[in-house]
Amino acid sequence: MRIRLFFASATFASATFFSSAALAADTQLLNLVMPDAQIMAGMNVTTAKISPFGQYVLSQFRSDEKGFQEFVSQTGFDPRQDVTEIMAASSGDLKSKAGLVLARGSFDATKMAAAVNSGKSKATITQYAGATLISLSEQAEHSVAFIGNSIVVVGDTASVKAALDRADKVNSISPALAARVQTLSTTLDAWTVSLASLGSLLPSELGGAKGPASQPLALVKNIESSSGGVKFGANVEISGQAVANNEQNAKALADIVRMVAGLFTLSSAQDPKMAGLVQVVQSLKVENVGTAVNISASVPEAQLEALMKPAAAK
């Protein structure tokens, strides 16, 4: 149970805590990424608490909840303050369950290992390549490893062990991916990039889709790479880029995005509950440059908070 709560806390941190300062991706974490990675995402958590959005997220966190307090006490891990950077990577192969979530921060590996075995779920705890490797007995295919007390590696056991094997080696991801990660991580607070075509990431059952969705789906399959992210501040800057296989398809994709945005605005304009989201869509800018489609939007931070509040609280 406790190890599951650790995974849940890591997921929560990766979904909500973002940095307001742009710093390049951590080189030690990059060294752990699999050489055949095609999809990566990352975020800098260091200054999240001083950004307006970070402050809002922290204000919503139920730190007084008994279960959470017990978790922090038993594991020595507080996801609100003990994580400084998070990174995730995958080969993009739909047939494989391989993948990694990496984090830098402050972790008490000894206390975490003891907490895991004090509950109902028992784990196998071993030393591997100088790291503490924890695997649940009932889910041996997944593991978490601690490199010292500053780096944690989570994923399927084979990928985790492979990451530990290359921990002291120079990063071996493709130069193209490394360049995109460098650019995105130094300009955005949270980012994602895929060198895999979107067509290869779609489930096979969508291949023969017919009807109104067939044309947009066909255009999506022409996207060869994509990237995007968020930068927080007084205005939350959202940006994304899709690169199509040719200029004609890029133009068609841009037209589809504009059309969908326009239709959404028209259909939702009279609904007071959708007013905030309509404003966001209206701020959307779509630019077609060669084979690239660039999308951006600027949203006041206070407006983003309002969108996230439950309807009953508005």
- Which tens digit of pLDDT belongs to each residue from 59-105? 777 666 788 888 888 888 888 889 999 999 999 988 888 999 999 99
pLDDT above 80: residue 215: no
Predicted local distance difference test score (pLDDT) of residue 140:
65
Angle at 9 between CA 8 and CA 11, to 5 degrees: 65
Predicted local distance difference test score (pLDDT) of residue 313:
52
**281, 265 in Cβ contact below 8 A?**
yes
Whole-angstrom distance, CA of residue 180 vs CA of residue 161: 26
Of the candidate ranges 36-50, 151-165, 210-224, 265-279, the one whose mean pLDDT is the lowest: 210-224
pLDDT above 70: residue 209: no
Predicted local distance difference test score (pLDDT) of residue 22:
47
Q: Is 155 left (phi over 0), alpha (psi -120 to 50) or beta?
A: left
193 backbone dihedrals φ, ψ, rounded to 5°: -145, 140
Predicted local distance difference test score (pLDDT) of residue 45:
87
Mean pLDDT value of segment 256-280: 86
- Residue 285: both structure tokens together: 């800018």
Predicted local distance difference test score (pLDDT) of residue 211:
58
Predicted local distance difference test score (pLDDT) of residue 274:
82
Residue 217 binned pLDDT confidence (cut-offs 50, 70, 90) = confident
Predicted local distance difference test score (pLDDT) of residue 124:
86
pLDDT above 70: residue 187: yes
Mean pLDDT value of segment 217-245: 92
Rounded to the nearest integer, the mean pLDDT of the chain is: 84
180 backbone dihedrals φ, ψ, rounded to 5°: -65, -40
Whole-angstrom distance, CA of residue 115 vs CA of residue 125: 12
Predicted local distance difference test score (pLDDT) of residue 19:
36
Higher pLDDT: 313 or 233? It is: 233
pLDDT above 70: residue 222: yes
DSSP H helices, the chain, are 2-16, 27-32, 52-60, 66-75, 109-117, 157-165, 175-187, 198-201, 214-220, 247-268, 275-282, 301-308
pLDDT tens for residues 19-55? 333 457 899 999 999 999 999 999 988 766 677 887 8
pLDDT above 50: residue 14: no
Higher pLDDT: 251 or 221? It is: 251
Predicted local distance difference test score (pLDDT) of residue 57:
79
Higher pLDDT: 314 or 291? It is: 291
Amino acid letter for position 61:
F
Predicted local distance difference test score (pLDDT) of residue 66:
80
Predicted local distance difference test score (pLDDT) of residue 137:
66
Could you tell me how many residues make up the chain?
314
**151, 104 in Cβ contact below 8 A?**
yes
Whole-model pTM over 0.85: no
Helix (H, G, I), strand (E, B) or coil at 204: helix
